[in-house]
Amino acid sequence: MKPGTALKWLIFLLAIPAAAVLGLTVLRDVKWVVWTVAAAVLSAVPFVLTLEKRRHPLTKLILIAAMIALAVGGRVLFYALPGFKPVTAMVILAALYFGPEAGYLTGSFAALISNFYFGQGPWTPFQMAAWGLIGFAAGLLAKYLKKNLVLLALYGAVVGVLYSLVLNFEHTVATIGTFSRDEYVAVTVASLGFTAVYAVSNVIFLLVLCKPVGKILERVTVKYGLNEPPEAG
């Protein structure tokens, strides 16, 4: 693995979640906005490092911004239905057609920007990391998820459950000041209804949006060669 690639993986899989956990457990006296900004910067770094080597970088950046806007708008539009949101579906679709880095960027910034409406707090970096990693993993699995609707729906359901488990961790530590397995289990049981709704909504939105949105994104990626290998040098 090349050093640059290893650095991107390290940032995606370790640094950003670590910023969220450290902020909640170690830097409790530091305002949450500091480690939220840190998570946002880390989310963008790997994408920026590869952007200049890609074909039509500005076009790809504009399209990702559009996907972020759609995810944010969808979350706001369905604000009256707790847990029933199209955010995860939009993040996954961005990842399937624009790649893992774009998936992470879409998920991370969709959480950050939409929380200016829903409310910022110590949960924001965890939402950024969770939605970002959902997008990143979807990008890695794109070859399989794009060809199999059942697998795509299953992925949406599984990541919906995992997302809830991550946020339950944040809620547990933020509430009692430390991690307690008993408290975590209690929170998880109490949120089973929300988790079920969220997982099912992911499946519904993916099945509804994958073909119409996917066709548009596919045409764009082919037209501009957005997923062609980076230019040499």
Spatial contact of 103 and 135, defined as CB atoms under 8 Å apart:
yes
State mean pLDDT over 131-150.
Answer: 93
What is residue 145's predicted lDDT score, i.e. its pLDDT?
Answer: 96
State mean pLDDT over 168-176.
Answer: 86
pLDDT at 61 over 90: no
Residue-wise pLDDT tens digits, 11-50: 666 777 777 777 666 655 556 666 667 777 776 776 666 6
- Predicted model pTM: 0.85
Spatial contact of 136 and 104, defined as CB atoms under 8 Å apart:
yes
Looking at CATH, the fold of the domain delimited by 3-224 is given as Arp2/3 complex 21 kDa subunit ARPC3 (1.10.1760)
Cα 106 → chain centroid? 6
Residue-wise pLDDT tens digits, 115-140: 989 988 888 888 988 998 999 899 99
- Please give the structure tokens belonging to residue 188: 């998880």
Residue-wise pLDDT tens digits, 193-204: 999 999 999 999
- Helices then strands, counting H and E runs in the chain, come out as 11, 0
Domain positions in the chain: 3-224
What is residue 50's predicted lDDT score, i.e. its pLDDT?
Answer: 64
Element (H, E) at 195: helix 192-224
What is residue 1's predicted lDDT score, i.e. its pLDDT?
Answer: 47
What is residue 161's predicted lDDT score, i.e. its pLDDT?
Answer: 97
DSSP labels, 160-174: HHHHHHHHHHHHHHH
Q: What percent of the chain has pLDDT over 90?
A: 49
pLDDT confidence tier of residue 164, bands split at 50, 70 and 90: very high
State mean pLDDT over 71-100.
Answer: 94
Give CA–CA dist 145/154, Å, rounded.
Answer: 10
What is residue 232's predicted lDDT score, i.e. its pLDDT?
Answer: 44
